[in-house]
A and B are shown apart, each in its own frame.
Chain A
Amino acid sequence: MAEDLVLDTAIRDWVLIPLSVVMVLIGILRYFVSKLMRSSNQVPDPKMIKEGQVVIRARNLRAAANFIPAKSFRSRRVYFSNEENGLLYVPKGQAQNAQAQMFSDPNMAMDMMKKNLSMIIPQTLTFAWVNFFFSGFVAAKIPFPLTQRFRSMLQNGIDLSTVDVSYVSSRSWYFLNLFGLRGLFSLILGEENATDDTQRMMQMSGFGFDPTRSLGAEKDSLDIVQHEWALPKFEQRAEAVLKKLVS
């Protein structure tokens, strides 16, 4: 069934372009709104910052372990990971406490709810708008063929069953825009933009466990490190570099 439907030019003018433009504008609006809302109530938590800095120090130690003599590396490692007062050592009971506390903290919960809402509400509103105004006609043609199983998903408002599956309704154009404009937003809005919902959801689910679990992970990876002091080999390396320079 490969006949070509002739579609009205007005559909292009009044459906495709306005829908795309509206979604881009809503994305930009959401970005700025979230930036404004975020900066007003952001009091950094000193405990979390302290833990973050400890993790950074441990990571630096791990990265540059081979540049210090074995004894000093070992003494630093013990400072981080020994049992009584090591910085990275968190007893099991306390670990879970911190996690539960994070979730019942009213401020944090409010924050996460606000972020969730700012993501969901524009999408819901736009979807309702699309359904109300732009339903019941063929909106676009996808350039690649799809199987019949996609028909119910893509051709929602169209009640003819003989039309090619490539001709889709405006609802699928909305979804196509939703996923495809993410790349565009990352280009025009810089790195940190609130429109990438899947990334945000991953961040939010990992947020509550972050401090205590990362300490344990850092301690484990620090314990794994094999120390091999780089000094004895440096003369050979210097010789190699000099040879390359001279030749």
Chain B
Amino acid sequence: MCRNSVAAVLCDTAASAFRVGGRSVCRWRIYVYGTKSLVSSKRREIRREKAMASRDESSVPRKQSSDVADEISTFNAENMQNNAKIIYYSRTFMSIIGGVIAGILGFTGLTGFIVYFLVMAITSVGIAAKAGFSVLPYFNSWNQILIDGFLGGLLSFVLFWTFAYDFVHIF
């Protein structure tokens, strides 16, 4: 299964039960979203994968934990990394855009920093909305999308804020 072409629910469970020493043992073969991993184990369980249908694959957070009933959580490290990267890119991009907006509108001093925090909050809300407000399958915790990397875009924001402000108001 090609990594870049997943778009639909893929849950193909093939069960074959046979008897071993009096107990029946089921073997399940399950395709995990994003990567093909053969999980054959001696347990009876249905894993239901909710895959995210997406047009633009690279900008969409991908499922990281593949268990619906979450006493045991298995993390797909590559998906986790991808999600973290997406958060970082979104924050950087929004802080640049926010800087340009603050400069054009002529905010100075504290008002500008309030604009920065507002923009970061909008980014967090946007990411949460994209993840369907059920954050746990995609990220480690709520903290990761709300608080993590909050101040990372500050320098870019200030740079573009200064740039736009000088352009428009002192030009």
Contact = CB atoms under 8 A, between A and B. Distances in A.
Partners in one complex: yes
Contacts of B112: 143-144
Interface string A53-93: 00000000001101100000000000000000000000000
B155 A143 contact: no
B78 to A, nearest CB: 13
Kindly list the 9 A-B residue pairs having the minimum CB-CB distance in the complex, ordered from nearest: A180-B159, A183-B156, A183-B92, A179-B155, A143-B108, A234-B43, A143-B165, A237-B69, A180-B155
A187 B159 CA distance: 15
Interface stretch (A99-107, A115-123, A239-247): A239-247
Given A143-B109, A183-B153, A186-B92, A67 B41 contact: yes
A145 B107 CA distance: 12
A241 B45 contact: yes
A237 B103 CA distance: 55
Give the interface SS of chain A, mostly helix, strand, loop or mixed.
Answer: helix
B156 A180 contact: yes
How many interface residues does chain A have, given as a range? Answer: 35 or more
A20 B164 CA distance: 13
Contacts of A180: 155-156, 158-160
Interface of A: 7, 9, 12, 16, 20, 63-64, 66-67, 140-145, 176-177, 179-184, 186-187, 191, 230-231, 233-235, 237-238, 240-242, 244-245
Interface in B76-120: 85, 88-89, 92-93, 95-96, 102-103, 107-110, 112-113
A57 to B, nearest CB: 14
Given A186-B88, A238-B46, A140 B69 contact: no
B23 interface: no
29 contacts: A7-B170, A20-B163, A64-B74, A67-B41, A142-B162, A143-B109, A143-B161, A144-B109, A144-B110, A176-B155, A177-B159, A180-B160, A181-B156, A182-B155, A182-B156, A183-B153, A183-B156, A184-B92, A186-B92, A187-B89, A230-B43, A234-B43, A235-B44, A237-B69, A238-B45, A241-B48, A242-B46, A244-B68, A245-B46
Nearest to B85: A191
Nearest to A177: B159
B166 interface: yes
B167 interface: yes
A231 B71 CA distance: 12
Contacts of A179: 155, 159
Given A182-B156, A241-B69, A145 B109 contact: yes
B117 to A, nearest CB: 14
